[in-house]
């Protein structure tokens, strides 16, 4: 099995200029596969401004840059892809907008049925969660780690574990078979800073 990798998600509200320094610190801390800009309830123009500032930082570190639930914006800005929830743009529409070469990931909560549907439709990854309590978003679905193992044993499409993941609780999700662990507060709110958080996550991954 391929080694688990980190998938960073932005805090729910940011000052782009200040956050750019946090992002640089995080990406200097070690291996990160991708970064998702997730800003809900703000005008597209503000998301676009943040993306134009942060995407070059990610690309400089060879990190894929995804935008949450805005396929048209992702396509216009030439982001690497888009992440969509079950209440967002349908997968087929998102894929048509961003094109065949972009990443499209789909939230599947704790549903094997939704994950299989997304996989059959052509999603590049399926995201399961929330595995732990989180302050980053309102959680209406909780997941257990068995779904990660089930998915890893049956399907080639990568899985992303999400929801309240920290350096203190990530090991069991890595051991269960998550291809990626999606982390927000566990990095940005780490007492020793984002870079040290990323370093610690990668250390744990290397030990599993």
For residue 60, what are the domain limits?
Answer: 5-207
Cβ atoms of residues 192 and 18 within 8 Å: no
Q: 68: burial class by Cβ within 10 Å (0-12, 13-18, 19+)?
A: buried
Domain count along the chain: 1
The pLDDT value recorded for residue 135 is 74
Nearest residue to 64 via CA among 81, 41, 83: 81
pLDDT digits (tens, 9 = 90+) for 66-115: 999 999 999 999 999 999 999 999 999 999 999 999 999 999 999 999 99
pLDDT digits (tens, 9 = 90+) for 105-156: 999 999 999 999 999 999 999 999 999 988 766 667 899 999 999 999 999 9
* Mean pLDDT, rounded, of the chain: 96
The CATH number assigned to the domain holding 101 equals 3.20.20.70
Give percent of the chain with pLDDT exceeding 70: 98
Residue with tokens 């574990």: 161
pLDDT digits (tens, 9 = 90+) for 147-203: 999 999 999 999 999 999 999 999 999 999 999 999 999 999 999 999 999 999 999
The pLDDT value recorded for residue 1 is 61
């Amino acid at each position: 099995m391929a080694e688990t990798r980190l998938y960073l998600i932005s805090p729910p509200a940011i000052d782009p200029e200040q956050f750019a320094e946090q992002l640089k610190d995080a990406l200097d801390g070690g291996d990160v596969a991708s970064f998702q800009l997730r800003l809900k309830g703000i005008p597209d123009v503000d998301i676009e401004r943040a993306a134009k500032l942060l995407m070059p930082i990610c690309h400089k570190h060879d990190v894929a840059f995804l935008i949450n639930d805005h396929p048209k914006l992702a396509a216009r800005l030439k982001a690497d892809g888009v992440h969509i929830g079950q209440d967002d743009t349908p997968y087929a529409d998102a894929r048509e907008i961003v094109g065949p070469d972009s990443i499209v990931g789909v939230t599947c909560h704790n549903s094997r049925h939704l994950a299989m549907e997304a996989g059959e439709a052509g999603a590049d990854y399926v995201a399961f969660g929330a595995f732990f309590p989180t302050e980053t978003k309102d959680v209406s679905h909780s997941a257990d780690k068995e779904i990660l193992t089930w998915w890893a044993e049956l399907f080639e499409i990568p899985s992303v574990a999400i929801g309240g993941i920290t350096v203190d609780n990530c090991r069991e999700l890595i051991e269960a078979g998550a291809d990626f662990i999606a982390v927000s507060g566990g990095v940005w709110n780490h007492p020793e800073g984002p870079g040290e958080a990323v370093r610690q996550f990668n250390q744990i991954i290397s030990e599993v």
